[in-house]
C-alpha cells in the first residue's frame, strides 16, 4: 500500500509545484515582458484615465453613441443581496441569456428590441444577447443601421459618420472569423471627430 501512497502524495506535491505554481507564475512573468499591455487586459486610456478595455464591450444607451449588443449580465441587487438586477456589460460577472430557442421570453425580447430599433427584420446581433454579455463587437450591418440616429443626435453629416463606420470595419483575420466593428473604438473615434 505504501508503495502506492508514497508516489501518489509525493508526485501530487511536486506536480502541484510545477504545474500549479511554477507554470502560471512563469507565464505571468514572461507575459509581462513580451506583451505587458495585453497581459494587463488591453486597457484603453484617454486623457490619462482608463476608459475601458478594447476587448470588453461597455454599455451605451445615449443616442449620441453607437450601441452594442443586448447583454444579459446582472449584478447583485443593492437592496437585497439574494436577488439580482439587470446590469448590462457587467465585466465582473459574464453570462449569456441562456434562453432556449422555444422560449417565449426570448421571442418577446427580440420583438421588443426590433420594434425599438424600428427595423423588422433587424440585423441579428442588434436584437440577440451575446454569449458573454460583454461582446465588444457588432456586425457592419448593425453599425450602419445606427448611422442615421447617431449623426442626427450629434448634428453630424450622415455621410461623414457612414464613412467613419466603413473605416472601422475589421475584416476577417486570414480566412477566419467574421467582419465586425468594435463599438468602443468606433465611439472613441466619434468623440474625437466631434466631442
Partner 1 sequence: MIADLTQIVLTLALLVVLAMPLGLYMAKVYTGEITYLSFAERALLGPAGVTPKAEQHWTTYTLSLLAFTAAGFAVLFLILRFQHLLPLNPQGFDGLPAHLAFNTAISFVTNTNWQSYGGETTMSLLSQMVGLTTQNFVSAASGMAVAAAVARGLASRQARTLGNFWRDLVRSILYVLLPLAIVLALALVLLGVPQTLDASVSANTLEGAEQTIALGPVASQIAIKQLGTNGGGFFNVNSAHPFENPTAISNLFTLISILLIPVAFCFTYGRMVGDARQGRALFAAMGVMLVVAVAGLYAAERIGNPLHAGLIDPASGNMEGKEVRFGIVGSVLWAAFTTAASNGSVNAMHDSLTPLGGLVAMLQMQLGEVVFGGVGVGLTGMLLFVILTVFLAGLMVGRTPEYLGKKIEAREVKLAALTLMIMPIGVLVLAALAIAAGTAQTSVQDAGPHGLSELLYAYSSATGNNGSAFAGFNAATPWHDTFLGIAMLFARFGYIVPILAIAGSLAAKKTTPPSAGTFPTYGPLFVTLLVATIVIVGALTFLPVLALGPIAEQVSILAGKSF
Site for partner 1 in 75-114 (CB under 8 A): 89-104, 106-107, 110-111, 114
Question: What number of chain residues touch partner 1 (CB under 8 A)?
Answer: 102
CB-based contacts of 187: which residues, under 8 Å, 6+ apart?
Answer: 60, 65, 66
Residue 139 C-beta: closest distance to partner 1, Å: 6
Stretch that binds partner 1, among 78-86, 132-140, 146-154, 159-167 (CB under 8 A): 132-140
Residue 89 C-beta: closest distance to partner 1, Å: 7
What are the two backbone dihedrals, phi and then psi, of residue 41, each rounded to the nearest 5 degrees?
A: 110, 20
Residue 29 C-beta: closest distance to partner 1, Å: 9
Site for partner 1 in 148-187 (CB under 8 A): 172-178, 180, 184, 187
CB-based contacts of 188: which residues, under 8 Å, 6+ apart?
Answer: 44, 46, 51
- In order, the DSSP letters of 19-80 are IIIIHHHHHHHHHHHH-HHHHTT-EEEETTEEEEETTS-----STTS--------EEEETTE
Is 189 a binding residue for partner 1 by CB under 8 A? The answer is no
Is 133 a binding residue for partner 1 by CB under 8 A? The answer is yes
> Which of 84, 141, 156, 169: binder of partner 1 (CB under 8 A)?
141
Amino acid at each position: 500500500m505504501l508503495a502506492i501512497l508514497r508516489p501518489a502524495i509525493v508526485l501530487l506535491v511536486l506536480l502541484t509545484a510545477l504545474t500549479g505554481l511554477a507554470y502560471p507564475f512563469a507565464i505571468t512573468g514572461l507575459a509581462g515582458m513580451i506583451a505587458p499591455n495585453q497581459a494587463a487586459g488591453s486597457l484603453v486610456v484617454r486623457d490619462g484615465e482608463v476608459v475601458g478595455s478594447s476587448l470588453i464591450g461597455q454599455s451605451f444607451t445615449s443616442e449620441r453613441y453607437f450601441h452594442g449588443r443586448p447583454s444579459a449580465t446582472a449584478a447583485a441587487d443593492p437592496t437585497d443581496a439574494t436577488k439580482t438586477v439587470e446590469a448590462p456589460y457587467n465585466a465582473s460577472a459574464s453570462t449569456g441569456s441562456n434562453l432556449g430557442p422555444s422560449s417565449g421570453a426570448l421571442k418577446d425580447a427580440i420583438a421588443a428590441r426590433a420594434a425599438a430599433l424600428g427595423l423588422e427584420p433587424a440585423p441579428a446581433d442588434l436584437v440577440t444577447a451575446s454569449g458573454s454579455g460583454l461582446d465588444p463587437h457588432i456586425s457592419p450591418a448593425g453599425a450602419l443601421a445606427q448611422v442615421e440616429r447617431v449623426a442626427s443626435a450629434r448634428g453630424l453629416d450622415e455621410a461623414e459618420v457612414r464613412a467613419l463606420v466603413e473605416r472601422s470595419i475589421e475584416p476577417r483575420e486570414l480566412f477566419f472569423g467574421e467582419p465586425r466593428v468594435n463599438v468602443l473604438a468606433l465611439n472613441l473615434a466619434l468623440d474625437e471627430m466631434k466631442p
